[in-house]
Structures are given as C-alpha cells and as structure tokens.
Amino acid sequence: MSLQTWQELLVSQHAAGTLFNTYTTAKTVINAQALVTLPAGFFALGKMVRIRVKGGISNIVTTPGTITFQVMIGAAIAFTSGAIQLNATAHTTLPFDLEIILTCRAEGDGTTANLMGQAKITGVMVTKTAGQTDDAQGDQTIMAPATAPAVGAGFDSTIAKVLDFWAGFSISNAGNGVQVQQYSVEALN
C-alpha cells in the first residue's frame, strides 16, 4: 500500500564555498545559508535523506593523508565516511562527487535517535591504497565507510536540530583543501 510520501529539496547552497585548508579537526565546509534546521519529529523510522556534495579537493604529493566527511545533527556525528585515503599525486581543487544516503533507524529523545548512513565518493584524488598515484583510467569511486556500516551517534529527534556537513584532513597543509561548489539535502520520503 502506498505511503503517499513525496521527495522534497530541503536546502541547496547558492554560491561557491570557501576553500578550507591548513587544518585537521573536522569543521563545517558549507556556506551558512546552506544549513538547514530540521523540525522536531522530522525523523521517523524509515525516513530517508540524501545529501549531495560536489566541489574540489586539493591534496599534497607523497604523503597526502586522508580526508573525512561528517554529517552533523546538532552536536552529534550522525554519519562519518571514515578516513578516505588521498592518492600520492598532487591535485589542486579537482572535482569530487559525494552522495550520502541516511535512513532513520531509531527515533526519540536524549540520544535515542540514530541514522544508518552509507556513501560513495568519486574523484581522481581518492584511492583505496596509500601511496597510489593517479589511475590511468581516471576517477576512482570509493564506498564509505570502508568498514562495516553502523549507525552514527545518537541525537534527540524530538527537538529541532541543525543538519551540517563537515570535513577534516589527517595532515594540516596549505595543499590539502576542500571547497564545496554544490550542496543539497533532500528528504526522500
């Protein structure tokens, strides 16, 4: 039987984001205008959200380290990509494409609510093996997290919360950077 639900664009980023580099601790990398406050009760069991991010990633040569993406619901890390290895060829804001699907697995107050998240990232700068240089075939697609999927940190779904998108690097260097060009959050049901 049909649930009579609709897809809805909740927010999109209207302008190019700042190029963030020379940092390690994850932080917001989207424009303030692209933050969306989800109302109390937004998440119910089975509620799905899709986050799409397109932009540029820069990385240093030889020992580039990793990049980690996070979806924050309030102060909780509702999803993490885990550390994604950057390859050993230097890149300057080359395009990446990231899609994250989140599904509500539990709802409630305190830290009861949680989301299951899985993602895929495509770009010439990502790799599965440390030290690997650019593949002659071009872009690589990496599934995230690279471990067994698990729900993210719990949050309170009974009160309004801001959904935010963060990124962090394992190595602070002016040559390791991320700039979000396009960002959207969609409610899928």
What's the pLDDT tens digit per position in 50-84? 999 999 999 999 889 999 999 999 999 999 999 99
Say what percent of the chain tops pLDDT 90. Answer: 85
What's the pLDDT tens digit per position in 17-54? 999 999 999 999 999 999 999 999 999 999 999 999 99
Alpha-carbon radius of gyration of the chain: 17
Strand partners, 97: 54, 122
Report whether pLDDT(135) > 70.
Answer: no
Which candidate, 183, 166, 167, 163, places its Cα nearest to that of 13? Answer: 183
Residue-wise burial string across 146-162, b where 16 or more C-beta atoms lie within 10 A, e elsewhere: eeeeebbbbbbbeeebe
Alpha carbon distance 119, 125 (integer Å) = 16
Burial of 83 per CB tally in 10 Å (0-12, 13-18, 19+) = middle
Which residue ranges make up each domain of the chain? 8-187
